[in-house]
Amino acid sequence: MRRRALIVGNWKMNGLIESSCDLADAVLSGLDQRADRMLRCEVVICPPATALYALHQRLGGGVLKLGGQNLSEHESGPHTGEVCGIMLRNVGCWFVIVGHSERRATGEGNEQVGRKMAAAFRDGLIPIVCVGETLDERERGAAEAVVREQIAALLPCLPVARNKRESLVVAYEPVWAIGTGRNAEPEQILAMHGFIRSLLTEALGAAGEKVRILYGGSLKPANARTILALGDVDGGLIGGAALKAADFLAIIDAVPDEY
Ligand code: PGA
């Protein structure tokens, strides 16, 4: 089954308002020249929270959608420094990244990631939940066990409504491949995406077939064509290469035609 491809740029903690607007403008003008491709491919950028409002004003409800990089599990209240889902919606977000390994490294555990995913659904956002093993876990042969636990923690937090469950996005991001220039090998990606798909269909039935599974970790123009053509790879979550419009657009161009 082919799902609509999803290409997400995670800008992380890079860019002020002006440079974010310039980058978004460059991506948007590239997308305007790719109208046919946009029928098969959804494109999202996740800029720093401080640039979201300006970008929302700029992009309106057009083809280039906005996402947050994180959200609070709470709806409002005394949570200094946190941003909740309603606030992200208020500045034009449709999506939100949840449980990125850089956040898990600050102490977010599987249960909290599950609660944040539930908060995203509650607040009308589509969560992009990141899973993936560290190098040590892979070398110990524990990659699948780690990812199984990460997925298992999400299941009880999923909404009941089938259309909401189907909108879930999972990003497989091996921690050792993020920002290192060393992507996972196609066989490793194929095996893990197949494994995640089997966990999802086992738990969710037909809805699990619809969930999009992205690959992330040193995805770039040079490897995008190979990786995005793999079975059960429904798109990509891109860090470093999303900070250059030409590279990001080249990855979008690498989405196979049969999507
Ligand atoms: P990278 O980051 O593409 O720079 O490896 C991916 C991510 O952190 O989502």
Distance 78 CA to ligand 1 centre (A): 31
Residue pLDDT, tens place only, 16-28: 999 999 999 999 9
Distance 259 CA to ligand 1 centre (A): 23
Question: Which tokens hold the place of 39?
Answer: 């029928």
Atom index in ligand 1 nearest the CA of residue 237 equals: 9
Residue pLDDT, tens place only, 98-144: 999 999 999 999 999 999 999 999 999 999 999 999 999 999 999 99
Tell me, yes or no, if the pTM score tops 0.95: yes
CB atoms within 10 A of CB 96: 27
Closest-CA residue, ligand 1 atom 6, reads 239
Q: Is 177 exposed, middle or buried, given 0-12, 13-18 or 19+ CB atoms closer than 10 A?
A: buried
